[in-house]
Amino acid sequence: MSSSKRPVIKFFGLGGRGVSALNLIRDRGLRDSAGPIFPLLITANSDLQDLSSSKAQIKIQVGAKSLKGVGAGGMFEEGKKGLLEVLPEISSLLAISDLVILISGIAGGTGSTLSLVAKSLNARPEKPVLFAVTFSPFSWEDYREPLAQKALKDLRAQTPGVLDIPNAKVSEIYPELSTQAIKKKIDEAFYRAMGAIASVCEKADFLKILTKKGQTGLGYADVSGPDRALQALEAAIQHPLMGGFTLKEAKGAIICISCFPKVKESEQKAITRRVQELIGSSGDFVVGSVQDERLLDQNAVKVTILATGLSEAKKKS
Ligand SMILES: Nc1nc2c(ncn2[C@@H]2O[C@H](COP(=O)(O)OP(=O)(O)OP(=O)(O)O)[C@@H](O)[C@H]2O)c(=O)[nH]1
Ligand SMILES: [Mg+2]
């Protein structure tokens, strides 16, 4: 990929959550510093009714023969049978790209087969860069934990960078909220992460940062007022989805600054300087800025951090 050209990014959503996550991207849109971008969205699901709600450009039915239009009922082996029917098609649709972002609710019968898609892409001569986003179970889905853990482990073996958004953790952060409101918070976390990746996609180093092996931390904050930029950065680092990690422990970071009108140069410089201090000389980072006219508070700055290459061994709470 040359540094001047926009990379080809494809999003692949598998299973019910894969479908709904890509609908969110379709509805809200993505942008880089030059304006809106329109990456290819591809979804695949065994549940035909759910698949019909997909707003992706390409929709693929998983297991038309073996599953006959219904879901895999939370069973990996059923999901796998279905996926194998369409894996060559999915793989060739995704292979020619600079970056493929794989997305699923990792404990679903269909979504848990995401590692098989990654494995098939890794076996191709085109070898696109892979990054994965998973949603691990809600607190009321304890029975799905063993499947989630196995599926996540298999996925990590195929994909260096994985951002797991633990549904249960988000309910812990907001104990007072309804399930519907918690799902909205999770959607926001996911959308902020995807927005951050989009915001830096024309920068030379961004693929290198996404492929640092390890856990990925996510933090974001919106602050208005005089010292808004640095305050938003510090608050983003403290976000619970950073898992207690700091930027010091990251091998890479993507920072996205979003506001309207465009962020002040002095603010961008202050954030860049602070991130450099925190991440140290061995870390790679890029800072993207996007202008978002949809922001209601024009005094606010939104900062999002994706910290990559965090230690896999110590899972902080
Ligand atoms: N945050 C969030 N997570 C979801 C949502 N829907 C599903 N999930 C998570 O994703 C997991 C898998 O659900 P689905 O994606 O519906 O399952 P599937 O992959 O379609 O699998 P089968 O229906 O068994 O074929 C669930 O156990 C939840 O943890 C959602 O709307 N928001
Ligand atoms: Mg389903």
Rounded to the nearest angstrom, the distance between the alpha carbon of 14 and the centre of ligand 2 is: 9
Residue from 136, 108, 102 nearest 121 by CA:
102
pLDDT tens readout for residues 178-200:
999 999 999 999 999 999 999 99
Q: Do residues 220 and 97 both lie within one domain?
A: no
Atom number in ligand 1 closest to CA 46: 25
Assigned domain for 315 exists = no
Q: Which ligand is nearest to the CA of 50?
A: 2
- pLDDT at residue 4 greater than cutoff 70: no
Last residue of a domain, one of 183, 210, 237: 210
Q: Do residues 195 and 272 both lie within one domain?
A: no
Say what the pLDDT of residue 1 is: 44
Q: Do residues 185 and 221 both lie within one domain?
A: no
Rounded to the nearest angstrom, the distance between the alpha carbon of 108 and the centre of ligand 1 is: 5
Say what the pLDDT of residue 274 is: 97
- What number is the average pLDDT over the span 45-65? 98
Say what the pLDDT of residue 315 is: 53
Q: Do residues 201 and 220 both lie within one domain?
A: no
- pLDDT at residue 88 greater than cutoff 50: yes
For a substitution probing ligand 1, which of 135, 187, 192 has the most ligand atoms within 8 Å of its CB? 135
Say what the pLDDT of residue 292 is: 86
Say what the pLDDT of residue 314 is: 54
Q: Provide the CATH number for the domain around residue 96.
A: 3.40.50.1440
- pLDDT at residue 316 greater than cutoff 70: no
Q: Provide the CATH number for the domain around residue 248.
A: 3.30.1330.20
pTM for the model stands at 0.96
Q: Do residues 195 and 228 both lie within one domain?
A: no
Strand partners, 303: 221, 257
Percentage, residues of the chain above pLDDT 90: 89
Assigned domain for 300 exists = yes
pLDDT tens readout for residues 167-180:
999 999 999 999 99
CA diameter of the chain: 60
Q: Which residue's structure tokens are 């061995």?
A: 282
Assigned domain for 316 exists = no
Residues near ligand 1 with C-beta < 6 Å?
15-17, 20, 45-47, 71-74, 79, 104-105, 107-111, 135, 137-138, 141, 144, 167, 183, 186
Q: Which ligand is nearest to the CA of 135?
A: 1
Assigned domain for 1 exists = no
Q: Which ligand is nearest to the CA of 140?
A: 1
Q: Do residues 63 and 146 both lie within one domain?
A: yes
pLDDT tens readout for residues 90-138:
999 999 999 999 999 999 999 999 999 999 999 999 999 999 999 999 9
- pLDDT at residue 2 greater than cutoff 60: no
Residue 297 vs residues 36, 222, 293: alpha-carbon distances, Å: 20, 10, 10
Q: Do residues 68 and 150 both lie within one domain?
A: yes
Whether 63 contacts 72, CB under 8 Å: yes
Assigned domain for 285 exists = yes
Rounded to the nearest angstrom, the distance between the alpha carbon of 80 and the centre of ligand 1 is: 16
Residue from 226, 293, 229 nearest 262 by CA:
293
As given in the structure block, the two tokens for residue 232 are 């938003």
Q: Do residues 143 and 223 both lie within one domain?
A: no
Q: How many domains does the chain have?
A: 2
- Which residues are CB-contacts of 149 (< 8 A; sequence separation ≥ 6)? none
Rounded to the nearest angstrom, the distance between the alpha carbon of 141 and the centre of ligand 2 is: 15
Q: Work out the number of other CB atoms within 10 angstroms of the CB of residue 240.
A: 16
The CA distance from 121 to 95, in Å, is 6
Give the range among 142-151, 164-173, 296-305 with minimum mean pLDDT: 296-305
Residue nearest to atom 6 of ligand 1 (CA): 17
Q: Do residues 183 and 34 both lie within one domain?
A: yes
Q: Do residues 68 and 129 both lie within one domain?
A: yes
Residue from 103, 88, 85 nearest 19 by CA:
103
Chain-wide mean pLDDT for the chain?
94
- Which residues are CB-contacts of 173 (< 8 A; sequence separation ≥ 6)? 185, 240
- What number is the average pLDDT over the span 20-38? 95
Query: Residue 180 belongs to what domain range?
Result: 9-210
Assigned domain for 2 exists = no
Rounded to the nearest angstrom, the distance between the alpha carbon of 290 and the centre of ligand 1 is: 31
The CA distance from 171 to 175, in Å, is 6
